[in-house]
Amino acid sequence: MKGDREYKTAVYEQFALIGKALCSGPRLEILDVLEQAERTVDVLAAEVGLSVANTSHHLQVLKRSRVVESERRGQHVVYRLADPAVADVLRAVRLLGERRLSEIERVTGEFLAGREGMEVVDEDSLIARIANGDCIVLDVRPPEEYEASHLANAVSMPLEELERHLAELPRDMPIVAYCRGPYCVLAVSAVETLRRHGFDAVRAPEGVQEWRELGLEVIGRDAQRAKVTARNRK
């Protein structure tokens, strides 16, 4: 039978496995993308700007620590978060970083400086406009992420397809574009494109999880699965 010290050492060493897996910028970004929807290695590599070999290495580290899991489908292996708690940890890391690391605010401010439509939109006003249908909400993430979960009534218009579909957008209503959250740049590029073509567009820093926490309806394949999981836990 283990003594007190042996027990505590063993437990905290196990917790440390998670910490070691997360102490990498690329791996945190990989997890952020996988929170949106499951991915194959090659698709994930393109999303995070890494080689397939490098992405595969990071995924194996995350898999060994049980943070992600994989499933073979035909000739492809699909990766996803192993547990909803992984997304909770990501948000906790982000919140702690925002509170304690002033560099995050500085770098973000420099990136957004001078870009029109990037000002912080009043949250209550934005929610009211969305709920009342007083604006067009564009989800500019890739289609598979939209299918997994999205804000109800949001229109899927992936960034790479945006310019080809501008004629479908009304010019007499404001447009709100969102993507994966406050540090995703897809909505930034989308708003710049829309404003360049004369649309009244702003960026919402919220992602799907933030919309859900604000009380707005989120629908889609993974959203339904999350509701079932929540009910089963009660």
Residues labelled catalytic = 179
Residues 35, 80: Cα–Cα separation, whole Å: 8
Q: What is the DSSP string of 15-60?
A: HHHHHHHH--HHHHHHHHHHHHS-EEHHHHHHHHT--HHHHHHHHH
Residues 134, 129: Cα–Cα separation, whole Å: 5
DSSP letter (8 states) at residue 159: G
Stretch (H or E) spanning 96: helix 84-100
Tell me the residue type at 91: R
- Residue 187's closest CA among 223, 147, 138, 150? 138
Tell me the residue type at 223: A
Contact 34, 80 (CB under 8 A): yes
